[in-house]
Amino acid sequence: MRIPHHVMFSVLVLFLVSSLLGSSLAAKLCSDGDKDGDSGCYRSRVLAAQRADRVKELPGQPPVKFRQYAGYVTVNETHGRALFYWFFEATHNPNKKPLLLWLNGGNSHPLIFFLFYVCVSRSVKTIG
């Protein structure tokens, strides 16, 4: 059975966003007493961060029927290191879809090339 590319990519980025954003960004935003989530700070700050990362439109992109989010997740604040993520939510029943995390091996194979190959190259037609 072949998994549609939009489902596979949704799963990838959702896992990355939920695991990294939930653990590092929310803990950083809340005061020390709120990190455990008892006061509701943790959840409300995470939701605010997700809303801030929502991509409503991109230059040249036609209207889409899915939600997308993009941003950076800090992985090492001391050294200023962060991971870029671009999450595409599944178009049907996103809360019930499985999640896939795709990690690439270094600078020679960035994730954006995978995205282009899977999502764009199959729909590009030669003109002329």
Average pLDDT over residues 72-101: 83
Q: How far apart are CA 111 and CA 104, in angstroms?
A: 6
The pLDDT value given to residue 23: 47
The pLDDT value given to residue 88: 84
Average pLDDT over residues 80-99: 84
The pLDDT value given to residue 115: 67
Q: How far apart are CA 104 and CA 84, in angstroms?
A: 12
Asked if residue 35 lies in contact with residue 27, where contact means CB atoms within 8 angstroms, the answer is: yes
Confidence bin at 78 (pLDDT 50/70/90):
very high
* Residues 6 or more apart whose Cβ sits within 8 Å of residue 37: 43
3-state per-residue secondary structure call for 37-106 = CCCCHHHHHHHHHHHHCEECCCCCCCCCCCCEEEEEEEEECCCCEEEEEEEECCCCCHHHCCCCCCCCCC
Q: Where are the domains of the chain?
A: 5-120
